[in-house]
A = this chain, B = another copy of it.
Amino acid sequence: MKNEVIRFTDPPRIISTCSVVGKMEKEGPLGHCFEIFDKKDKYGQDSWEKSENEMQRLALRHAIQKADLFDDQIDALFAGDLNNQCIGSNYGLLDFDIPFFGLYGACSTAAEGLMLSAMTVGYGIYKKTAAVTSSHNCTAERQFRYPVEYGGQHTPTSQWTVTGSGAFIVADSGDHPCICDVLPGKTIDRGITDINNMGAAMAPAAIDTLTRYFTQTNTHPLDYDLILTGDLGYEGHRIVKELMYERNYDLSKNYNDCGLLIYDREKQDVHAGGSGCGCSAVVFASYIYDLLCKKQLKDVLFLGTGALMSPISVQQGQSIPGIAHLIHVKG
């Protein structure tokens, strides 16, 4: 089998991160880990879209400041979001006079940006790059379902789009958690057509990427402290665990999902858990990154998961392809 894992002989470092969230996220179990929040989710703006732009601006601004850098020391930005034409990044990062690579990986964008950052830094193309992404509950609801004012009911398998933005600075040196290797995802479609069950649509992609990774690296789940998917929620997490078990990979000990970590499903009305570009971005940029820095986590597989449909493709009866990009990080 072809080896698709990209290894770095001199692994790039994640030298700084920043997480920016909204009210629901601040009130959740990881609330104390997030750095910036606005209890109205508006960040002083007059539209939800502009609020999301502002969250990306704040996340990158603070991540650069925390690394004690000036903007011109960042060689490139890898950024994207869920909004049509990725306006969260296009407008949110306009202030930064830095070469810009626009990405669209749906909710996998945090991992896609980190992966391209690691590839360009790890192979000496750049010295320092930034990966930025975001989602906002109200921009996503309006765009993919109904405006929040409509009060549409959610099904039990539906997920709650996270209001949040995460930024990461990747550099060629430093004493920080490093990205040892990455495995890019493939688009996988197993025929799921239910737009209210994104977890099930994305799970096959996570299973494909995990299986390829374990096979190609000749490792097993227990070789890692934590295997963490981006936003599969309760449904997708269960599917991955069950189907991986059938493939002789037991994930019962150390597998979690950012969409399950970010909210308290007992107390917060989020149905199957969190989702959105911002979900994996803010959980990884705060809680997980902190544990890696403290060496309480030493070896993590982080999989950004994305559902690659649009409202039009769903209306036209097409099923929902998923993708999962894997980043192997060491504390």
A residues touching B (Cβ–Cβ < 8 Å)? 2, 4, 6, 47, 49-50, 72, 75-76, 80, 82-87, 90-91, 93-94, 97-106, 112, 116, 119-120, 123-125, 183-187, 189, 308-313, 316, 318, 321, 323
Q: Which of B2, B102, B184 contacts A104 (CB 8 A)?
A: B102
Q: Which of B90, B184, B310, B316 contacts A187 (CB 8 A)?
A: B90
Q: Which of B4, B101, B308, B316 contacts A116 (CB 8 A)?
A: B101
**Minimum C-beta distance from A163 to chain B (A):** 17
Residues of B within 8 A of A87 (CB): 308-310, 312-313
Rounded to whole angstroms, the CA-CA distance of A183 and B187 in the bound complex is 29
Rounded to whole angstroms, the CA-CA distance of A187 and B100 in the bound complex is 7
Q: If A104-B104, A189-B94, A321-B90 touch, does A99 touch B4 (CB 8 Å cutoff)?
A: yes
Name, among A2, A120, A183, A308, the residue most crowded by chain B CB atoms within 10 Å (CB to CB): A308
Residues of B within 8 A of A125 (CB): 6, 119, 123
Q: Which of B91, B97, B101, B103 contacts A184 (CB 8 A)?
A: B101
Q: Is the CB of B2 within 8 A of A316?
A: no
Q: Is the CB of B98 within 8 A of A85?
A: no
Name, among A91, A183, A311, the residue most crowded by chain B CB atoms within 10 Å (CB to CB): A91
Q: Is the CB of A310 within 8 A of B100?
A: no
Residues of B within 8 A of A189 (CB): 94
Q: Which of B102, B106, B119, B187 contacts A94 (CB 8 A)?
A: B187
**Minimum C-beta distance from A21 to chain B (A):** 22
Q: Is the CB of A104 within 8 A of B106?
A: no
Residues of B within 8 A of A47 (CB): 316
Q: Which of B49, B94, B106 contacts A321 (CB 8 A)?
A: B94
Q: Which of B120, B185, B318 contacts A99 (CB 8 A)?
A: B185
Q: If A310-B83, A321-B94 touch, does A102 touch B105 (CB 8 Å cutoff)?
A: yes
Q: Is the CB of A84 within 8 A of B84?
A: yes
**Minimum C-beta distance from A142 to chain B (A):** 9
Q: Is the CB of B186 within 8 A of A98?
A: yes
Number of identical protomers: 2
Rounded to whole angstroms, the CA-CA distance of A99 and B212 in the bound complex is 11
**Minimum C-beta distance from A206 to chain B (A):** 15
Q: If A49-B312, A120-B119, A312-B49 touch, does A106 touch B85 (CB 8 Å cutoff)?
A: yes
Q: Is the CB of B103 within 8 A of A102?
A: yes
Residue of B at shortest CB range from A98? B186
Q: Is the CB of B321 within 8 A of A99?
A: no
A–B Cβ pairs within 8 angstroms, 29 of them: A4-B99, A49-B312, A50-B318, A82-B85, A84-B311, A85-B104, A85-B313, A86-B308, A87-B312, A87-B313, A90-B313, A91-B321, A93-B187, A94-B187, A94-B189, A94-B321, A97-B186, A99-B183, A100-B184, A100-B185, A100-B186, A100-B187, A100-B323, A101-B116, A102-B104, A102-B112, A102-B308, A102-B323, A103-B103
**Minimum C-beta distance from A89 to chain B (A):** 8
Residues of B within 8 A of A6 (CB): 125
Q: Is the CB of A313 within 8 A of B185?
A: no
Residue of B at shortest CB range from A47? B316
